Amino acid sequence: MIKLEHITQTYVGPDGKVFEALKDVSIEIKPGEIFGIIGRSGAGKSTLVRCINLLNRPTKGAVIVDGRDLTKLGDAELRDVRRSIGMIFQHFNLLSSRTVYDNIALPLELIGTPKEQIRSKIEPLIELVGLTEHVNKYPSQLSGGQKQRVGIARALANDPKVLLSDEATSALDPETTVATLQLLQRINEKLGVTIVMITHEMNVVKQICSRVVVMNKGEIVEQGDVIDIFARPQSETTRALIGQVMDRDLPQSIVNTVNAAREKHGRDNVHLLHLSFIGEEVAEPVISLASREFNIDFSILRGTVDDLQGRTLGTLTLLVVAPTSVYKQAVDFIRNRGVLLEEITNV
Ligand SMILES: Nc1ncnc2c1ncn2[C@@H]1O[C@H](COP(=O)(O)OP(=O)(O)O)[C@@H](O)[C@H]1O
Ligand SMILES: [Mg+2]
């Protein structure tokens, strides 16, 4: 559906220095999926997503949408293709002097659609996004979530096949974010629109994306099914985004427990582990097997279970009291059974 092939984007700064905002980036997005692009601010996400509708013309590379390379199209053809690609933004980009209805109608007005046709087109959209009571209001009279719903309905007015979302929930509070993501999910299912979600928040990816690419400094550092990325993050960038960098988010209560165990059993005999696993992949009772095999006890310090598009992602932080040689064998034993195991050594 959408293929970006070897995209490079260079900018020349005021000092004449060449800066590469995208370095040989290739992605493929399948029809009907919700695809995530995540990275810190400045990673190149917006630059990349704006290549999909050529708001941004890449310095090098091909942009294939529905089998056609957009970089080779003339202006008129490009305008047509652009109409099949809707976009929503962090700051909504609504016209303050127009009502909700007139904001949503704008894309159709621009192509000369007759008034009645506009009405029959956008009324169902207004209902779909839940703005029926607010059609005559102005943007200043709306909450952030409502403004984004206007943005979403406007983006859908032209029956796009693709919806690009550039940090569309970043200005919203957590509850409104959840509701907006649910709406996008409904739109994806009901209308079959392919959605490309740009975000710097892993929670957004976790809630609705099926696949994700992780970007850092203009490059893709990791990509795959969302659950795999969460269960087995490979890059430091991904780990930081997931918040699994253990020295950062280990609560004081756990540190206290570890210190108490060290006093009791001796520093060298106390070990701390972090496990992540995908429920369906771990058929064996790994922990109790290891416990019996090596005759050691594991204490659960904390655990989480998440549902990601119907698959189960679990994490456990465990305390182990055992001589180092036995502990090392237990670590290998667990690692060989489909569980990602990280040793926490910096407490
Ligand atoms: N038009 C431009 N001219 C020069 N530099 C730009 C331009 N657009 C973006 N950049 C630079 O490219 C890098 C990536 O920006 P951007 O794609 O907006 O990142 P993100 O959306 O991930 O925050 C940043 O360092 C930004 O300053
Ligand atoms: Mg951006």
Q: Is residue 237 part of a domain?
A: no
- Count of domains in the chain? 2
Instruction: Give, for ligand 1, the residue of 47, 87, 165, 200 to mutate: max count of ligand atoms closer than 8 Å to Cβ.
Output: 47
**Residue 114: inside a domain:** yes
Each residue's pLDDT tens digit, 277-305: 887 776 678 899 999 999 999 999 988 88
Q: How far is the CA of 82 from the centre of ligand 1 (A)?
A: 22
Cα within 13 Å of Cα(82), Cβ side: 16
pLDDT, one tens digit per residue, over 44-90 is 999 999 999 999 999 999 999 989 999 999 999 999 999 999 999 99
Which one of the ligands is nearest to 38 CA? 1
Residue 20, strand partner residues:
10
Task: Say which CATH number the domain at 273 has.
Answer: 3.30.70.260
User: What pLDDT digit, counting tens, does each position of 10-41 carry?
Assistant: 999 889 899 999 999 999 999 999 999 999 99
Query: Which residue blocks in 40-194 are alpha helix, DSSP H?
Result: 45-52, 75-83, 100-110, 115-128, 144-156, 174-191
- Assess if residue 238 is contained within a domain: no
Please report, as a single letter, which amino acid is at residue 87.
M
Give the ligand at the shortest distance from the Cα of 91: 2
Residue 169 sits in the same domain as residue 306: no
Domain membership of residue 291 as a residue range: 246-344
The model's confidence at residue 173, banded by pLDDT at 50, 70 and 90, is: very high
Backbone phi, then psi, for 35, in 5-degree steps?
-110, 130
Q: 73 CA distance to ligand 1 centroid (A)?
A: 25
Do residue 198 and residue 293 come from a single domain?
Answer: no
Between CA 128 and CA 132 the distance in angstroms is 9
Verify that 30 and 142 share a domain, yes or no. yes
Ligand 1 atom closest to residue 56's alpha carbon, by position in its atom list = 1
Contact criterion met (CB below 8 Å) for 27 and 197: no
Q: Write down which residue in 232, 267, 282 finishes a domain.
A: 232
Exposure of 189 by Cβ count < 10 A (0-12 exposed, 13-18 middle, 19+ buried)? exposed
Evaluate whether residue 267 is within a structural domain.
Answer: yes
CATH number, domain of 124, equals 3.40.50.300
Kindly list the protein residues whose Cβ atom lies closer than 6 A to any atom of ligand 1.
11, 21, 39, 41-47
